[in-house]
């Protein structure tokens, strides 16, 4: 119960405060004009505050772990080429796609330790982010992160059906720390992680993950990819 209350009352990401302020002003005006209207706007404002919640997370500290960049559900696992604009090659590599619905925390976090070596925004469509083609067609913001051992990991924020704004606070040269906040996507979206070739995903399709905490892969491990058995 305490954890649930803390999740609901988590701090609000600074990108959400303008929306909360507008909603609060509309609620005050609504109460002045017609009380039921005020309650409606108050409810909308509360939901906006909930959507932009930004809870703290405890990230596994062991070197080599790839943590989830977002809360959500693992929607797709497949081999695919990373976005061409990053310039890190076109060879297919393991890709893990995490789909966020409107009730998930939408703050995004670095999946690995390293240095951002490329960042690229690409305009696109806004089809359902759960579809495979969203990786190619939708608006996206892509980062390439160089690992200490010279390999790289790509993380891509993808706008969804109702998302209309990708916020990315990382730029080339920035130091990435696994679990640290670096951006946000508004109102439903998806985040793709492209692992180095030969690294097996340690999650399965349909699994719920927590941004900054759930382990997606082990860059130093030899465990086989999970098959998704339920026990």
Q: Mind listing the pLDDT tens digit for each residue in 49-60?
A: 877 788 999 999
Whole-model pTM: value is 0.86
Delimit the domains of the chain by residue range: 2-51, 65-218
Mean pLDDT check: name the lowest of 81-85, 121-125, 165-169: 121-125
Q: What's residue 189's pLDDT? A: 83
Which class is 65-218 in CATH?
A: mainly beta
Angle ∠(65,69,72) on CA atoms, nearest 5: 115
pLDDT value of residue 133: 66
The answer, yes or no, to whether residue 1 has pLDDT greater than 70, is no
What is the overall mean pLDDT for the chain?
A: 86
Top pLDDT among 211 and 165 is at: 211
The residue among 130 and 74 whose pLDDT is bigger is 74
Q: Express as a percent the part of the chain with pLDDT over 70.
A: 88
pLDDT band at 228 (very low <50, low <70, confident <90, very high): confident
Catalytic (active site) residue 222: no
- Residue 81 above 90 pLDDT? yes
Looking at per-residue confidence, does 226 or 42 come out higher? Answer: 42
- What integer pLDDT is reported at residue 169 of this predicted model? 92
pLDDT bin (cut points 50, 70, 90) of residue 186 is confident
Inform me whether the pLDDT recorded for 3 exceeds 60: no
The pLDDT-based confidence of 36 (bands split at 50, 70, 90) is confident
| pLDDT given for residue 9 in this prediction | 67
Catalytic pick among 97, 135, 142, 189? 189
């Amino acid at each position: 119960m305490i954890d649930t209350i803390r999740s609901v009352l988590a701090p609000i990401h600074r990108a959400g405060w303008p929306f909360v302020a507008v909603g609060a002003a509309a609620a005050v005006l609504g109460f002045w004009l017609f009380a039921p209207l005020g309650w409606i706007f108050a409810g909308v404002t509360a939901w906006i505050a909930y959507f932009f919640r930004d809870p703290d997370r405890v990230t596994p500290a062991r070197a080599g772990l790839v943590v989830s960049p977002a809360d959500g559900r693992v929607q797709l696992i497949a081999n695919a080429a990373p976005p061409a604009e990053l310039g890190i090659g076109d060879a297919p590599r393991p890709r893990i796609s995490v789909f966020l619905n409107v009730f998930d925390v939408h703050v995004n976090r670095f999946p690995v330790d390293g240095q951002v070596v490329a960042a690229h925004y690409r305009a696109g469509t806004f089809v359902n982010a759960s579809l495979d083609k969203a990786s190619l067609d939708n608006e996206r913001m892509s980062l390439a992160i160089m690992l200490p051992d010279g390999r790289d990991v790509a993380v891509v924020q993808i706008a969804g059906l109702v998302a209309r704004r990708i916020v990315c606070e990382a730029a080339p040269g920035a130091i990435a720390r696994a679990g640290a906040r670096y951006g946000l996507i508004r109102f439903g979206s998806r985040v793709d992680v492209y692992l180095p070739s030969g690294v097996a995903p340690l999650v399965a399709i349909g699994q719920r993950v927590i941004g900054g905490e759930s382990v997606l892969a082990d860059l130093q491990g030899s465990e086989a990819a999970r098959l998704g058995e339920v026990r």
